[in-house]
Amino acid sequence: MNPIDSSTTPRDIGPTEDGAALRILWEDEHESVYLPFDLRMACPCAGCVDELSGRRTLTEAMVAPSVHPTAIEYVGRYALKFVWSDGHDTGLYSYDLLRGLCRCDECVAPSGSSPPS
């Protein structure tokens, strides 16, 4: 048995070859690529999500399309903290959250039958 959850343990974190996105290779060999704008929009901090209702108060109009991380810090063993080019730095992105944000074909493929919206 594996003492760690390989699906939420990053093996390698870094920019993609073109530098336009962030790539995370997970211990289970899964590769996730994140666009900076999408990551910024997914910020889970109290300034971006209403703590009482859980609703996102951050809107796309509030974020520059060119937003990008100026620094990435490891927080313990469970999360990353991004310092964004707009000065925002209060969001902690747990590896659970990041894995859940993966948009690769495998992760966005509909599981079972979902009703049309």
Which one, of 13, 17, 21, 33, lies nearest residue 67 by Cα?
A: 21
Find the shortest distance in angstroms from Cβ 104 to Zn ion: 3
The region that residue 85 occupies, defined by phi over 0 for left and psi between -120 and 50 for alpha, beta otherwise, is: alpha
Q: How far apart are CB 9 and Zn ion at their closest, in Å? A: 15
Contact footprint for Zn ion (CB under 5 A): 43, 45, 47-48, 91, 102, 104, 106-107
Sign of the four-CA dihedral 38, 43, 44, 47: negative
Nearer to Zn ion, 1 or 111 (CB): 111
Residue number, 1 or 105, with CB nearest to Zn ion: 105
Minimum Å gap between C-beta 31 and Zn ion is: 7
Residue 33 or 116: which CB sits closer to Zn ion? 33
